[in-house]
Structure 1
Amino acid sequence: MTRALGFTLLEVLIAMTIFSILGLASNQMLRSVSSIERQMEERTDEYRTLVRVFKMLDRDVSALVYRGVRDEFGDPIAAVSVNQGLYPLEFTRGGWRNPLKLPRSQLQRVAYQYNGEALQRVVWLILDRAQDTKPRVQTLMTGVTDFKVSLINADGSRQEVITAEDGDELPVGVELTISTELWGDLTRRVNLPEYVPFLTQGSAGALDSEDNLNDIEPDQDDEFEPALQPLSPSVLDGVL
């Protein structure tokens, strides 16, 4: 009598078990690879955002202009304010580009603040504000735990507070520290431009008025990377 060829039930069950284990292992491996790839993309995006934030800080500080402003109540605000008032850093900067040749100033008042969750950039479309003037707040980076500003004197010492008017001598640089959940403490040092008196005649500053600027939209590029023209070359001696 000839015996039928084939697999027994036990052999089939063993084979199915082996293939099931291999399939589960392959699935877990694919999930791990996908998760790592997604995390790398997220880290890359966060790093790019961080680079753009520091680039914006570099450009703003390097284009500092010694021009004080007035607040909503007509009270004067110094040209440069560090760790005073509402914002850790507030100043006037030049080079606010105007490709459409609109009747507005090339100067812009900017400030940086930490709201407890994110680093924000505050901008005003006019320098001397009216009571109905509202700033525009741009969220630059989330996942921030702190934002600190200190000034570097010529002898290397640190200065935490300053309000500088036109003609006042400023320290040689500013140190900006962003504390993040992912990257920890990141410090950038930027050289401050040399003192240049602000000229009101024949300059863009003479065009500041509430009527001209109420309805003007800022440049689209200004959301992250405003094109600035520093008054004097600035050496960026800090690194990320």
Structure 2
Amino acid sequence: MWPNKSTAWGNKSTAHGFTLIEVLVAMAIFASLSVAAYQVLYQVQQSNQVSAQREARLSELQRAMVIMDADFRQMALRPFRHEGESASAQLVQWQDYLLDSDTKGLLFTRLGWHNPQQQFPRGEVLKVGYRIKEQVLERVWWRYPDTPTGQEPIIAPLLNDVEAWSVRFYLNGQWSNQWETQQVLPQAIAIGLTLKDYGEIERIYLLTGGSVGETNDSSS
């Protein structure tokens, strides 16, 4: 029997490809999936970037605290000369615009700068200062506690985004925001920092205290 022509032509007509509407729908679905995948990838990248920034910021803060701990815990009971002037009666200076600070600056001497077997032409006492410049906490220091006029310090930025800072001094059971006592070290010192991201942070350091006269009497 010969095949029915109408049946053959009918089979041919049913074997067709995708219609334009089906192609457009498929493209729309693919585009939506691509956008969703990109958004997920972008969010992951942003999250990783934020995490890296926070980790770097925390490392910066921890490093600054380590350096400050070493300085303040070893504050020296020693007068010092600055800019060729006579020895200061204040062992710790906390003044407006000291060290060219935008606010207040802090200046003192500290022990513990290791000089094994006196190999270098210096002692183990150095002069250290702290200041704020354009919201950056900077450590300013000299290799010698007594410096002539014009001797430039070594400046090391420690911490960014410092909106404000404060120093309080403890002596004989009382805290004070000023330090004008002469020839005496405070018994404790509190350093307060207001950071743009972490808010207010305060560190309290116990010091040796004492006065220069007591040191001279005990040595004689």
Query: Given the alignment, which residue of 141, 144, 147 partners 1:129?
Result: 147
Aligned-partner Cα distance in 2 for 1:115–1:124: 18
1:97 has 2:109 as partner: no
Do structure 1's residue 115 and structure 2's residue 140 form an aligned pair? no
Q: How high is the TM-score relative to the length of structure 2?
A: 0.81
**Which whole-Å CA distance do the structure 1 matches of 2:46 and 2:97 have between them?**
44
Per the TM alignment, residue 165 of structure 1 is displaced from its structure 2 partner at its CA by 4.3
Native 8 Å contact 1:88 1:148 kept in 2: no
1 CA distance for matches of 2:135 and 2:211? 36
Tell me the distance in 2 between the aligned counterparts of 1:44 and 1:120: 21
Q: Deviations over 1:172-231 (max 9, x none)?
A: 3111111111111111111112438668xxxxxxxxxxxxxxxxxxxxxxxxxxxxxxxx
SS across alignment from 2:137: strand
Alignment partners' CA distance in 2, 1:126 and 1:71: 10
Q: CA–CA distance in 2 between the matches of 1:164 and 1:104?
A: 29
Within the candidate set 60, 80, 92, 1:80 is matched to: 92
Alpha-carbon distance in 2 for matches of 1:55, 1:98: 20
- RMSD over equivalenced CA pairs, Å: 2.1
Alignment match, 1:12: 23
CA contact (8 A) 1:65 1:196 kept: no
Structure 2 unmatched runs, 5+: 1-9, 99-103
More RCO (CA 8 Å, sep 6+): 1
Equivalence map 1:132-143=2 (5 Å): 132-143=150-161
Q: Name the SS for the 2:48 alignment partner.
A: helix
C-alpha contact 1:149 1:177 (8 A) present in aligned 2: yes
Unaligned runs of 5+ in 1: 200-240
In the other structure, the counterpart of 1:182 is 197
1:80 and 1:58 map into 2 onto residues whose CA distance is 16
| 1:151 and 2:176 correspond | no
Q: Which has the larger radius of gyration?
A: 2
- 4+ runs deviating over 4 angstroms: 196-199
Which residue number corresponds to residue 209 of structure 1?
none
Residue 31 of structure 1 pairs with residue 42 of structure 2 = yes
Q: How many angstroms apart in 1 are the aligned matches of 2:180 and 2:113? A: 23
Q: Percent identity?
A: 27
Alignment partners' CA distance in 2, 1:196 and 1:9: 93
Q: Distance in 2 between matches of 1:196 and 1:95?
A: 19
| Alpha-carbon distance change, 173 to 15 in structure 1, aligned in 2, over 3 angstroms | same
Q: Retained in 1: the 8 A contact 2:111–2:126?
A: yes
Checking the alignment, whether the CA contact within 8 Å between 1:66 and 1:79 is kept in structure 2 is yes
Q: 1:171 to 1:132 in 2, by over 3 A?
A: closer
